[in-house]
Amino acid sequence: MNKTMLFLGTLVVITTCVSCRSISNKERNSILDADENTPFDILQTTNPTDSLFLRRKAKNIKRVNRIAHHATWQHFFKRLRKTLDQAEGVGLAAPQVSIGRNVFLFMRIDKPGRPVEIAINPRIVSHSDETVCFERDGCLSIPDRSGNSRRYEWVEVEYYTEKGEKIREKLSGTSRQTDFTGVIFQHEYDHLQGILFVDKLCD
């Protein structure tokens, strides 16, 4: 009886430790297979395997309060930035580089210098009733195609930074001539749900 209880107790501890890990071995190996200055390959919808992965719903990163001291995730963020910089895009989601987690980069068109920021475990908590048809939406995972997509005029969002700080703010902007930060956030958030801009084309 005592041996059985001891075995069950050990099993619970092992299971708990596995379930509370913030990163899997497969993810860790994929992230650390190159140095922080090496960009990831971006998945393409023209590849059937890539396309299936892009349609999966991503999962939250656990223990976000420790993210600033998590070497593997910090390494990932640096490689993700390098990938976006090389691709010359305005946003990039983790699933686009084979990491099925709720993380993306988005360019802050609304800030001086247009810095690129990280959103971890993002949520859209509120949005406008009105939508607009955003012109010439495109995606680094969908080569040689663009289209006009249906987007909210503004979104109220919550997310964590790479330092573990929680942010809540309202993002707007739907014009390429002025600001479209809100659209970028919506586009990248969709990636985490397995949704692509071609699913939201205007009639």
Instruction: Point out the residues that are catalytic.
Output: 188
In this structure, is the dihedral angle defined by the CA atoms of residues 32, 24, 116 and 44, taken in order, positive or negative?
positive
Contacts of 138 (CB under 8 A, 6+ apart): 145, 146, 147, 197
The rounded distance, in Å, linking the Cα atoms of 187 and 182 is: 9
Contacts of 8 (CB under 8 A, 6+ apart): none
Q: Are 31 and 99 in contact (CB under 8 A)?
A: yes
